Structure formats: C-alpha cells, structure tokens
Amino acid sequence: MSSTPARGDWRRALVTGGAGFLGSHLCERLLDAGLLVDCADNLLSGNRENIAHLEETPGFRFVECDVSEPECVERLPGPYDLVLHFACPASPADYLRHPIQTLDVGSAGTRHALALAARDGARFLLASTSEVYGDPLVHPQREDYWGNVNPIGPRSVYDESKRFAEALVTAHASALGTDAGIVRLFNTYGPRMRGHDGRVVPTFIAQALGGEPLTVAGDGTQTRSLCFVDDTVDGVLLVAASRAVRPVNIGGGHEVSVLEIAEKILELTGSTSRIAFVERPADDPARRRPDTTLARELLRWQPSVDWEEGLKRTISAVVTTG
Ligand code: UDP
C-alpha cells in the first residue's frame, strides 16, 4: 500500500508502546502522514534506538512513562484524535519474564488509554492478538471463534491480559460510546525486532548469522502464519481509520511450519548452522492461521509481501544495522 490510511481530521496521535517493534513503525507512518505523534513507552521491552531516527522530526515527542500508572496519563495532555494502545511485551520470553506488568498493561494500561480517548473524543484502537484464540480448536481462526485458552497456564498472563483488554474496550464502546476498535494481530516480523527477543524469526536469523544452531522447538511441525510488518501496519491503520467496533484479524495467509521457517532462513542467509531440536514450551499453540475475510471485505486489506521477500528484507536490515 502506498499511502498511509488516515482520517483527514486527525491532527495528533498517541502511540503507547511507541518505542516497540510495531509501535515505532506506527509512529513513523503517522508522522509521514503529517500527524503530530506522542510516543509513550516505559522501555520495558521497547528500545529508544527504535525511534532514534524520529527524535528530531518536528511533531514527534517521546514521553518515558508507564501507561499502567495514573501519573503517565497526566503527562499526556493531548488533545488526541487517535490513541493506539500498543504497549505490552509481545514475545513469550518477555511476557514470561514480566508477568505482572503484562497483566497490568492490559488492565490498568488499557483503562488509562481508553480514558484518554474518551477525554478527547478520539478514535481508540487496541492491539490485541491471535493469542486470544489460545491453542485453537478451529482452523483457520475467524473473529467469532471464542478460543481455547488455559487461564492459569504460563501464557495466560498475555492471553488473558488481552482478552480482558478486549472486554474493557467493548464495554467502553457500548457503555460510554467511545469510538473504539480492536485489531487481532498474528505473528508479525520485520526490521527492528530484537535479535534475542525470543520470537522465532529474529531468533533464527540471529542464530543463522552468528553460526549458532537454530533452536527448533519440539519437532517443528507446529505452524504460524507470518505477516511482514509493513502489511500489518497498513492493516492496523485501516482499522484505525474505519469505524469498526468488532475485532478484526490482521495476519498472513501463508501458513508454514517452524521447521520450514528455520530451513528458509538457513537458505536465505547461506548459513551452515545446524538445526537443534529443543523442548517445546507448555501450551505452545499447534496451528495458527487467520481467516482475514473480514479485513478483506471491510477494508480491502490483504498482505502483499510474500514471506521470502519479507525475510530477505528482515535479514538485510539485521546485516546492515548489526
Ligand atoms: N520457536 C522455536 N524456536 C525459537 C523460538 C520460537 O521453535 O527459538 C517456536 C515456538 O515454540 C512457536 C513458534 O516458534 O511454536 C512461534 O513462536 P514465537 O515465540 O515467535 O511466537 P508465538 O506465536 O508462540 O507467540
């Protein structure tokens, strides 16, 4: 997609988690579209380097604060036309290291971000996740599937945080009339993921380039559907610019196994690393693929970057920036 979908009357946006992987791409695209952008981040899993190239851009402001804390709200005067709530550790390794903060940002953090949107009459968008479907029993996953989540399993801190956040957004919209939507994001990858953030693509790329074994969990037959970050950002901004209140899946349609991801990254990097099969994490979903009919019909969105091209771009960004 060539231009950034934005409502013509938007002047100022708030991106919580704006120094994260996805958040920083969103800040960039909103600035390109001519908006003023406040980026709020507590740098728990975000990184100032992700926004270093934006810090001198007129209209961009970084506010280091934790949206789960009430004082953060006081440091965000707005007024905002758009609030994108993207703050949350998203890698299983990160959210397992920070379980309470993960639950807090989905509950208190979402409440605070919604309050800002309601204060200013802004459009609000929650970054939700395919993890609300848990280890899905239906395939592919449509938005009306309720999911199969273990509420006390290790991943529950993330899954239930996002499920609660979805409930909060839905209640705000119906009880207070807040203009609020939800995107359910599936596995997104691309430049600016931390090499050791634990997620499959950056981990395998770092391992392949570093000559280390690629750590494939289990037998690697579990699947994911990868979506390149530019496509995800297009989808997010289209949902933001729409008046959609129900959740919308945004994700790649090409389902691949983890072993195929490892083999493709070995091929594209020319690495001679071997594959090491390691223990599979508890409750690791076996299959995941979005049904994106709603996004296609409602927003005419569909991913345009195939996974080989996306992986090449991601690898070359790692090689260039180190
Ligand atoms: N995975 C793997 N090796 C790694 C990291 C992840 O085999 O070093 C697997 C993980 O077990 C899962 C899939 O890759 O089956 C995707 O994991 P990721 O953490 O990227 O995201 P998830 O979809 O599980 O949230």
CA atoms of 286 and 207, how far apart (whole Å) = 23
Q: Is the bond preceding residue 154 a cis peptide, omega within 30 degrees? A: no
How many Å lie between the centroid of ligand 1 and the Cα of residue 200?
Answer: 5
Ligand 1 test: best mutation among 95, 131, 149, 199, most atoms within 8 Å of CB?
A: 199
How many Å lie between the centroid of ligand 1 and the Cα of residue 224?
Answer: 9
Sequence-ordered list of residues with C-beta below 8 angstroms from that of 241, at least 6 positions apart, any chain: 5, 6, 7
188 lines ligand 1 (CB under 6 A): no
207 lines ligand 1 (CB under 6 A): no
Which residue minimizes the CA distance to atom 14 of ligand 1? 200
Which pLDDT does position 2 carry in this prediction?
44
Which pLDDT does position 3 carry in this prediction?
66
92 lines ligand 1 (CB under 6 A): yes
Which pLDDT does position 8 carry in this prediction?
76
158 catalytic? Reply is yes
CA angle, corner 248, sides to 242 and 254, nearest 5?
Answer: 125
289 lines ligand 1 (CB under 6 A): no
Nearest atom, ligand 1, residue 214 CA: 8
Q: Are 80 and 12 in contact (CB under 8 A)?
A: yes
Q: What are the angstrom distances between the C-alpha of 132 and each of 129, 171, 182?
A: 6, 17, 12
CA atoms of 86 and 37, how far apart (whole Å) = 14
Specify the length of the chain in residues. 322
Residue owning tokens 């953060």: 72
Mind listing the domains of the chain with CATH numbers?
Answer: 12-188+229-253+288-304 (3.40.50.720)
Which pLDDT does position 9 carry in this prediction?
87
Which residue minimizes the CA distance to atom 18 of ligand 1? 199
59 lines ligand 1 (CB under 6 A): no
pTM over 0.95: yes
Mean pLDDT, each 10-residue run in order, the chain (322 residues): 70 98 97 97 96 96 98 95 97 94 98 97 98 96 97 96 98 96 98 90 97 98 97 98 95 95 98 98 95 97 96 92 66
